Amino acid sequence: MAEKRGSSITKIAFLCLFITTTTMFVLSSRGRPGLFDHKTMPAEKLLTVFNNGDSQTSNQSNAESSNGSNRAILANSEKQRVEEGGFQVSCNGNLKEPLKIFLYDLDPEFHFGLLDWKPQGNSVWPDIRTKIPSYPGGLNSQHSIEYWLTLDLLASEFSENPSSREAIRVKNSSEADLIFVPFFSSLSYNRYSKLSPHQKKSKNWELQEKLVKFVMGQKEWKISGGRNHVVLAHHPNSMLNARMQLWPAIFILSDFGRYPINVANLDKDVIAPYKHVIKSYVNDSSDFDSRKTLLYFQGAIYRKNGGFVRQELYYLLKDEKDVHFSFGSVQRNGIRQASQGMHSSKFCLNIAGDTPSSNRLFDAIASHCVPVIISDEIELPYEDILDYTEFCIFIRTSDAVKKGFLINRIRSITKDKWTRMWEKLKQVEPLFEFQYPSKEGDAVQMIWQSLSHKVSSVKMKINKSKRYSRFVPRKRRGLRTRTK
């Protein structure tokens, strides 16, 4: 018995010695490259949460409880990355691979030519290192996402650290996750949708026809059935003709208000924010008491379709002393007046108009004026990441038109609750900013992220479509019975 006990003790001692030696060897190897491939070693995934431009690291299990989170990405605990093979490789072995985009080299008449840019030499793209064609301001700019995304793709070729980007341009379509169609469709609609004298078709209509012919004739479209193509149609009236033919593609839209569900839906498409047109509230030092107007709305009051609620609310609210509800437009300093009004208001109404969405929501976010959304069919950007109820008030249309309901609901919101929502607005505001060059966490990068979420579904659909593509069915024959 004593010999067995001694044998057990000896085994335990050797086991402890082995574990200690192995641990010391692993620890000592960290500074010696080549001994271990750290990518194969398991590591706890951490989340970096961006709060008002500052990053904080927390455990993945705590991410949902973080009140200040507006965007999360996988990162290592030491926030250090090294480059390997063109991608970000975190020290804990996690890969952050940028979205690979193949950009069709369309004729400039589809993109920067619409901005009166003239190509020099054989290039269809401007040299953005020397001069960037400017985009028109005013209401034109609210649907300018095609401009910002195209610029970002072109800039990725000159980036010193492409692995730090959300998306990069690749020259070989077989390497791409998605195929980008660079048609400035919103600008085309705004500038060229009206018929000129003696024209049977507008220039906007002709460009759409030419686009459809080009895109559907490409091998990339034929291989994928168009499922991996990205088409921008942010203005609700843009691509009215082409959308019915390019419907398998991923559309980037402002809403689904003028689309049948089989053409556009959340399963395949992406909702992107408008570019706000009013002035951002920089260094906002206001508070609940200094914003004297309780509820603010300025815009077109009489609208068709779903916009009937605007005139209903006008008659319900026009006599409330601390409510500003009036007609307004971009003319006669309308944008400047709207900026001043939103900056001095606690709550800003975002009411459905001709379509479920409007730029007014993003103007309110830029003003840190708590949005009150009355639009039952609205879809919102990045809602898989953002909880809009933390900084927006949602009211059903059927409730809003009840006498006293809306104003009583707004008056019931306490100073403390409003302050929390106001603070959250300042945190999420950068997510809706379009700029060049783009910055991490801005609207351009967030749209690329939203597109990246579609890639696995797109690849699955393409792969499934190939199951019988090489099978040519034989001519049908009647059943044959076996004869003896």
324 and 374 housed in the same domain: yes
328 and 405 housed in the same domain: yes
Q: In this structure, is residue 14 part of a structural domain? A: no
pLDDT at 299: 82
Burial annotation 307-329 (CB, 10 A radius, 16+ → b, else e): bebbeebbebbeeeeebbbeebe
350 and 306 housed in the same domain: yes
pLDDT at 139: 86
354 and 248 housed in the same domain: no
pLDDT at 13: 54
Q: In this structure, is residue 213 part of a structural domain? A: yes
pLDDT at 76: 37
Q: In this structure, is residue 348 part of a structural domain? A: yes
Q: In this structure, is residue 66 part of a structural domain? A: no
Model pLDDT for residues 271-326, shown as the tens digit of each residue: 999 999 999 999 999 999 999 999 999 887 766 665 688 889 999 998 999 999 98
342 and 406 housed in the same domain: yes
267 and 298 housed in the same domain: no
175 and 300 housed in the same domain: no
118 and 168 housed in the same domain: yes
265 and 318 housed in the same domain: no
315 and 369 housed in the same domain: yes
pLDDT at 328: 65
Q: Tell me, what CATH number does 405's domain have? A: 3.40.50.2000
Of the residues 239, 271, 303, the one at which a domain ends: 271
pTM of the entire structure?
Answer: 0.78
105 and 209 housed in the same domain: yes
Tens digit of each residue's pLDDT, the chain (484 residues): 444 444 544 455 555 555 655 555 544 444 444 433 433 333 333 233 333 333 333 333 333 333 333 333 333 333 333 333 344 433 334 457 899 999 999 999 999 999 999 998 889 999 999 999 999 988 899 999 999 999 999 999 998 777 789 999 999 999 999 999 999 999 999 999 999 888 899 999 999 999 999 999 999 999 999 999 999 999 999 999 999 999 999 999 999 999 999 999 999 999 999 999 999 999 999 999 999 999 999 887 766 665 688 889 999 998 999 999 987 666 567 788 899 999 999 999 999 988 999 999 999 999 999 999 999 999 999 999 999 999 999 999 999 999 999 999 999 999 999 999 999 999 999 999 999 999 999 999 999 999 999 999 999 999 999 888 665 555 544 545 554 4
Q: In this structure, is residue 178 part of a structural domain? A: yes
Q: How far apart are CA 77 and CA 92, in angstroms?
A: 8
Q: How many domains, the chain? A: 2
State the residue range of the domain holding 108: 99-193+201-271
Q: In this structure, is residue 283 part of a structural domain? A: no
Q: How far apart are CA 383 and CA 389, in angstroms?
A: 10
Per-residue tokens: 17: 């010695």
Residue type, position 388, single letter: Y
Q: In this structure, is residue 34 part of a structural domain? A: no
242 and 321 housed in the same domain: no
Strand order in the sheet with 345-351: 323-327, 293-299, 345-351, 370-374, 393-394
pLDDT at 263: 96
Find tokens 């990068």 and name the residue.
Answer: 445
Q: In this structure, is residue 62 part of a structural domain? A: no
